[in-house]
Amino acid sequence: MTILSKTTQKFLVSGIPPSNGGVGRLMKMMVPRAQEHGYSIICKRENKSIRRLLDNKNIFLGVKELVERIFNNIVFHIKSSLIKKSIVLILHPQTIGFNTFLKIIKRNTVYFYVMDNSFFCLRSYNIHPITKKECLICVTNPANALKECMPFPVNYQRADNIEYLKTLKGVSQKVFFLAQNKKQKELLDLHFGAGISCTIVGLDTGEVDFQSTKSPFTQLHDTPYDLVYHGVENFAKGIGYFVELAILLPEFSCFLPCSQLIVENILGKKVTEKNIIFKECTWETGLKNAVTSARLVINPSLWSYPIEGALLKSIFYNGNVAVVETEYGFAQEIISESDVLCLPINLSIAAKKVRFFLNDNIDISLNNKTWLKSFLLRTNSDDIFHLMEK
């Protein structure tokens, strides 16, 4: 897509550093590959929790962390703003800073690898603030945002965020968009117009590997959970959906790898049902074991999500997986190719489907793992760098 001269500089710019969560896991995979292809890396540092440091009475370390954050942000923006006449691969513009991102677009050839829906939605995860369902009212016009919609995950001024989205729409013909999947490309085309340059490149976080002939390590619980929620404490990821579904299925054990207090604060109510088990843990400290041994893993994202690493891991480590129906979510692409259990947004109907699945001991794991193997063979993060060098 871009003819490179031997002197053209190349940069990978991200406001999120390599880490163990979300985009950070992708960055772990991409940074070494980008460096192999001659890219210089500009990204922010991984922050420590100032509140946790202060709670532990480490006032000096808390102040030190604050100073280091400020200094790192200044250096990051200076380095990013000085890039000119270069090839720039962008991830997560919200954390880069909108003004910095627009400067980079103006002065360089930019490839925008799209992680979420911040290109049209203030909330990044396009879930309606009241109905908690997939919301598309700002596609084509971000000014349609409801008054309840506030910028996330960075707390920008609402008016500034809307103005940025309008400006991005105006310069979209200068950007090469890299979409993860077909449905995301449809949204990009719908919002910016079918004339934009947009290529589907997939998503490879390196967390699942079918190249190995070994099966994933399994350490079963003495009493595996019937249902396991594979997600985080966020309405858009389906935390509320899962809890309400679990309430309708009192005969089945339902596990969440989350803090009960945090979930109750999100839901605005107490969760007292005996079949719902909360245990705050990470993938490494318990969630992997719960997912591997569950009778059914539920990935109930409600927004127009692209490829989710959690969904791929659920299929890889278990195979008996359920998703929730959306219009533009990634699962809508795979339900015709795989056997994932697709649940309706209507909870009473969803509960009947889950109850039937569990009572009949249905096993859909083999076909789902076969689909995943085929899908992963089509996805390679090196393809992104090869694409930009054409």
Amino acid residing at 196? I
pLDDT: which is higher, 340 or 7: 340
Nearest C-alpha neighbor of 228 from the set 349, 24, 369, 220: 220
215: confidence class by pLDDT, cuts 50, 70, 90: very low
218: confidence class by pLDDT, cuts 50, 70, 90: very low
**What pLDDT is attached to residue 255?**
98
Domains 10-207+379-388 and 227-377 are alike in CATH topology = yes
**What pLDDT is attached to residue 321?**
98
The pLDDT tens digits for 1-38 are: 554 555 689 999 999 999 887 899 899 999 999 999 99
State mean pLDDT over 166-186: 97
- CA dist 77 and 220 (Å) reads 48
State mean pLDDT over 215-227: 63
Name residue, tokens 């690898």: 113
**What pLDDT is attached to residue 80?**
97
**What pLDDT is attached to residue 301?**
98
| Entry pTM | 0.90
- As a whole-number percent, the residues of the chain with pLDDT over 90 amount to 78
- CA dist 9 and 34 (Å) reads 12
Q: Please, are residues 137 and 144 in contact by the beta-carbon 8 Å criterion?
A: yes
Cis link prior to 306 (omega < 30° from 0)? no
Domain ranges for the chain, please list them.
10-207+379-388, 227-377
- CA dist 384 and 390 (Å) reads 10
The pLDDT tens digits for 82-138 are: 999 999 999 999 999 999 999 999 999 999 999 999 999 999 999 999 999 999 999
- What residues have CB less than 8 Å from 219, skipping those under 6 apart? 289, 292, 293
CA torsion through residues 353, 354, 358, 361, sign: positive
State mean pLDDT over 183-197: 97
CATH superfamily of the 227-377 domain = Glycogen Phosphorylase B; (3.40.50.2000)
Nearest C-alpha neighbor of 122 from the set 132, 137, 107: 137
pLDDT of 212 over the 70 cut: no
Nearest C-alpha neighbor of 102 from the set 149, 153, 169, 48: 169
- CA dist 329 and 264 (Å) reads 26
Bridge partners (DSSP) of residue 341 are: 322
54: confidence class by pLDDT, cuts 50, 70, 90: confident
State mean pLDDT over 327-347: 95
pLDDT of 40 over the 70 cut: yes
| CATH (residue range 10-207+379-388) | 3.40.50.2000
384: confidence class by pLDDT, cuts 50, 70, 90: confident
